[in-house]
C-alpha cells in the first residue's frame, strides 16, 4: 500500500517523494535488479540499450543507491576514518585545508571522510580497533604519527588499509606521506645566503622529535654546502617566550648572527619580538625565517617569511594512496613532498 503510494508520488514527480530503490528502477526500466546493479557498477556487462533505459529510469526516479545496503552487500563502508588530533596538542597541522582536500578528493572516489575523537580512558588504538570490528570504515588516515606508533603496528598486524601523514619507525614498510622538512630549512638557508647573510643561526626544539631534527638537519647541511662557519643552534621548547629567550642568547653572542631560522613560526615571532626590543629592525638588521606559515605569519609585523607545508597536496596524496590500497593495487608507496618557502619582509630588508 505504502509502496503504491510511493510509486504514485514518484511518477507525478513530486519532490517530496520518498526515495526510490533499485527495485523501483528495475521495474521502470523493465529489467531485473541485478541488471540495474550491473549498470551502475559494471556498465561494460550491460548492453548499450539496456544501460540507456536503466540510466533514464534512474534519472527520472532520482535514484541513489542506499549506502547501508551497498555497504552490507558489498562489504565496504565507503568511508575513510580519520581521528582528530586533540585541539590542545601543539601541531603544525592546519586542519582546514587538510580535511577539505581529503574530503573533496575522497568524494571523487565514491568515498567520504568519517571523523572520530579519542575517548577518555581509551588506549591509542582502541578507537581504531572498534571501527574495524564494526566494519565502519574501509581504511584510515593517520596524522600526528609518532616514532614508534602503536596504531601503525596495529594496522599492519591486522592487514587493514591505512596511510599515514608522517613517517614512523617500523620494521615493516607502510604507506606514508611526509613533508621534507630538511628541504624547507635548506631553502631558507639558500635564500638567506643569496641575500648576503654569512652568520646564520637556528632556534630549534630539543633533540628527539622527528620533525624538529629533520628541520635542523636540512639547515646544517645547507650551511655546510654554502661553506659557512658552523652555526649556533639553540634548543628550546615551542612558544613565543621561548623564542625570545633563544634570540636573546643568540644576539648576545660575540659574532651575533644576522639571520635566524626557526623550526616553528611561534618561535620566530619571539625572535622578532626580542630583536625589536633591542631596537633592531627585523628584515634590515636581522632576517628571520619561520616554519609552517601559520595563518598569522602573513599578518605579523613585518610579515614573516616561512616554510609552508602543502596541505592540499598532502590530503590529496593520502587519499590517492589509500584508494590504491583499497582497489588492491597492492602498491605500498610513500611520498616526500617539498614544502615551499614563502618569502616576506622579515627576511628581506636591505641587501647585504
Partner DNA sequence: CTGAAAGCGCTTACAG
Which positions touch DNA (CB under 7 A)?
A: 21-23, 30-38, 40-41, 44-47, 49-50, 63, 65-66, 68-70, 72-75
Residue 191 or 244: which CB sits closer to a copy of itself? Answer: 244
Does residue 146 sit in helix, strand or coil? coil
Binder of residue 119, out of DNA, a copy of itself, none (CB less than 5 to 8 A by kind): a copy of itself
| Distance in angstroms (rounded) separating the CA atoms of residues 59 and 211 | 51
Residue 40 or 116: which CB sits closer to DNA? Answer: 40
Binder of residue 325, out of DNA, a copy of itself, none (CB less than 5 to 8 A by kind): none
Q: How many CB atoms lie within 10 A of CB 279?
A: 7
End-to-end CA distance of the chain: 85
Handedness of CA 311, 315, 316, 318 (dihedral sign): positive
Residue 100 or 338: which CB sits closer to a copy of itself? Answer: 100
User: What's the min distance (Å) between Cβ of 139 and DNA?
Assistant: 17
Alpha helices in the chain (DSSP H): 2-11, 22-29, 33-41, 48-61, 67-74, 95-108, 126-133, 150-158, 181-194, 210-225, 240-251, 265-277, 311-326
Binder of residue 46, out of a copy of itself, DNA, none (CB less than 5 to 8 A by kind): DNA
Residue 198 or 276: which CB sits closer to a copy of itself? Answer: 276
User: What's the min distance (Å) between Cβ of 72 and a copy of itself?
Assistant: 4
Binder of residue 307, out of a copy of itself, DNA, none (CB less than 5 to 8 A by kind): none
Contact, 211 vs 147, CB < 8 A? no
Residue 23 or 350: which CB sits closer to DNA? Answer: 23
- By CB atoms closer than 10 A (0-12, 13-18, 19+), residue 310 is middle
CA gyration radius, the chain:
27
User: What's the min distance (Å) between Cβ of 20 and DNA?
Assistant: 7
Binder of residue 52, out of a copy of itself, DNA, none (CB less than 5 to 8 A by kind): none
Residue 35 or 266: which CB sits closer to DNA? Answer: 35
| Distance in angstroms (rounded) separating the CA atoms of residues 13 and 7 | 10
> For residue 161, which phi and psi values (nearest 5 degrees)?
-65, 135
User: What's the min distance (Å) between Cβ of 258 and a copy of itself?
Assistant: 22
Binder of residue 294, out of DNA, a copy of itself, none (CB less than 5 to 8 A by kind): a copy of itself
Residue 63 or 98: which CB sits closer to DNA? Answer: 63
> For residue 278, which phi and psi values (nearest 5 degrees)?
-85, 10
User: What's the min distance (Å) between Cβ of 56 and DNA?
Assistant: 14
| Distance in angstroms (rounded) separating the CA atoms of residues 25 and 149 | 48
Binder of residue 99, out of DNA, a copy of itself, none (CB less than 5 to 8 A by kind): a copy of itself
Residue 10 or 37: which CB sits closer to DNA? Answer: 37
Kindly list the residues in this chain that would bind a copy of itself in the complex (CB under 8 A): 15-16, 19, 62-69, 71-72, 77, 79, 84-87, 95-97, 99-100, 102-104, 107, 112-117, 119, 130, 132-136, 157-158, 240, 266, 269, 273, 276, 294-296, 299-301
User: What's the min distance (Å) between Cβ of 319 and DNA?
Assistant: 21
- The closest of 260, 262, 250 to 215, measured between CA atoms, is 262
User: What's the min distance (Å) between Cβ of 329 and a copy of itself?
Assistant: 23
Contact, 280 vs 307, CB < 8 A? no
DSSP 8-class letter at 5: H
> For residue 115, which phi and psi values (nearest 5 degrees)?
-95, 145
Binder of residue 187, out of DNA, a copy of itself, none (CB less than 5 to 8 A by kind): none
User: What's the min distance (Å) between Cβ of 41 and DNA?
Assistant: 5
Amino acid at each position: 500500500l505504502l509502496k503504491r503510494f510511493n510509486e504514485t508520488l514518484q511518477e507525478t514527480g513530486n519532490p517530496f517523494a520518498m526515495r526510490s530503490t533499485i527495485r523501483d528502477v528495475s521495474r521502470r526500466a523493465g529489467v531485473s535488479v541485478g541488471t540495474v546493479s550491473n549498470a551502475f557498477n559494471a556498465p561494460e556487462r550491460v548492453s548499450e540499450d539496456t544501460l540507456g533505459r536503466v540510466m533514464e529510469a534512474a534519472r527520472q526516479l532520482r535514484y541513489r543507491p542506499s549506502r547501508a545496503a551497498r555497504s552490507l552487500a558489498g562489504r565496504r563502508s565507503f568511508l575513510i576514518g580519520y581521528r582528530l588530533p586533540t585541539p590542545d596538542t601543539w601541531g603544525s597541522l592546519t586542519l582546514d585545508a587538510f580535511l577539505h582536500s581529503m574530503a573533496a578528493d575522497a568524494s571523487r572516489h565514491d568515498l567520504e571522510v568519517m571523523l572520530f575523537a579519542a575517548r577518555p580512558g581509551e588506549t591509542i588504538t582502541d578507537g581504531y580497533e572498534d571501527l574495524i570490528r564494526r566494519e565502519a570504515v574501509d581504511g584510515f588516515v593517520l596524522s600526528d604519527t609518532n616514532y614508534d606508533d602503536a596504531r601503525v603496528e596495529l594496522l599492519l598486524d591486522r592487514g587493514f588499509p591505512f596511510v599515514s601523514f608522517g613517517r614512523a619507525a617500523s620494521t615493516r614498510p607502510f604507506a606514508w606521506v611526509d613533508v621534507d622538512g630538511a628541504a624547507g630549512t635548506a631553502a631558507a638557508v639558500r635564500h638567506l645566503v643569496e641575500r648576503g647573510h654569512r652568520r646564520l643561526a637556528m632556534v630549534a626544539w630539543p633533540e628527539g622529535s622527528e620533525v624538529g631534527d629533520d628541520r635542523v638537519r636540512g639547515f646544517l647541511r645547507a650551511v655546510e654546502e654554502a661553506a659557512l662557519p658552523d652555526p649556533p643552534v639553540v634548543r628550546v621548547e615551542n612558544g613565543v617566550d621561548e623564542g625570545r629567550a633563544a634570540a636573546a642568547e643568540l644576539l648576545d653572542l660575540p659574532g651575533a648572527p644576522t639571520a635566524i631560522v626557526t623550526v616553528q613560526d611561534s618561535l620566530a615571532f619571539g625572535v622578532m619580538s626580542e630583536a625589536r626590543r633591542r631596537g633592531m629592525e627585523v628584515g634590515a638588521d636581522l632576517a628571520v625565517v619561520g616554519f609552517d606559515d601559520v595563518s598569522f605569519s602573513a599578518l605579523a609585523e613585518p610579515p614573516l617569511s616561512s616554510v609552508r607545508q602543502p596541505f592540499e597536496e598532502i590530503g590529496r596524496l593520502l587519499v590517492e594512496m589509500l584508494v590504491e590500497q583499497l582497489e588492491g593495487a597492492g602498491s605500498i608507496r610513500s611520498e616526500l613532498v617539498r614544502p615551499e618557502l614563502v618569502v616576506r619582509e622579515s627576511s628581506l630588508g636591505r641587501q647585504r
